[in-house]
């Protein structure tokens, strides 16, 4: 089975998640102009977000997959479904497959459980925001959702 290209994943995610703001980006890591020593901060700043510095939380790939799936499947404010769970899982799995299994690092701004967000450091001005930044030696990407109460 053919792996979908990033642009296909992006278009699918944006077409299905109709509420809030969804940022999904992927680019060569060499294109990120590092304004600080933290690649995640430099990348999110280039997209118009606020840097988190030491507040970034490094997570395992499986946790990153679960976060992406969660924020695509339902909104952050009321947990209303945004797309089929299997579609969210497909996008999450294939987005992370764009990165090396050996050198990929994943970061997030908070924690989440099945019901809701438990605590986070915002990178946007939205009431709720959550997602992941992932990168390896070659590429960097983000899947980030913003919702209002």
Convert the pLDDT of each residue in 39-88 to its tens digit: 999 999 999 999 999 999 999 999 999 999 999 999 988 889 999 999 99
Residue 71 lies in a domain: yes
Q: Is residue 12 within 8 Å of residue 91, measured between CB atoms?
A: yes
* Cβ partners under 8 Å of residue 83, min gap 6: 16, 17, 72, 73
pLDDT of 80-131, one tens digit each? 999 999 999 999 999 999 999 999 999 999 876 655 555 789 999 999 999 9
Q: Tell whether 92 is covered by a domain.
A: yes
Residue 130 placed within a domain: yes
What DSSP designation does 48 have? T
Where in the sequence is the domain holding 17, given as residue range(s)? 6-147
Q: Kindly state whether residue 1 falls inside one of the protein's structural domains.
A: no
């Amino acid at each position: 089975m053919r792996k979908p290209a990033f642009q296909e994943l992006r278009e699918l995610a944006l077409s299905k998640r109709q509420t809030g703001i969804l940022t999904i980006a992927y680019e060569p890591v060499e294109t990120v102009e590092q304004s600080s020593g933290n690649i995640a901060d430099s990348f999110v700043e280039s997209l118009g977000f606020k840097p988190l510095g030491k507040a970034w939380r490094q997570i395992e790939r499986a946790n990153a997959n679960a976060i992406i799936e969660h924020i695509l499947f339902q909104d952050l404010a009321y947990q209303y479904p945004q797309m089929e769970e299997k579609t969210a899982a497909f996008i999450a799995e294939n987005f992370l497959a764009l990165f090396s299994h050996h050198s990929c690092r994943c970061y997030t701004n908070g924690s989440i459980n099945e019901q809701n967000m438990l605590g986070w450091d915002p990178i946007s001005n939205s009431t709720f925001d959550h997602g992941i930044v992932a990168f390896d030696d070659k590429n960097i990407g983000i899947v980030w959702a913003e919702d209002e109460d």
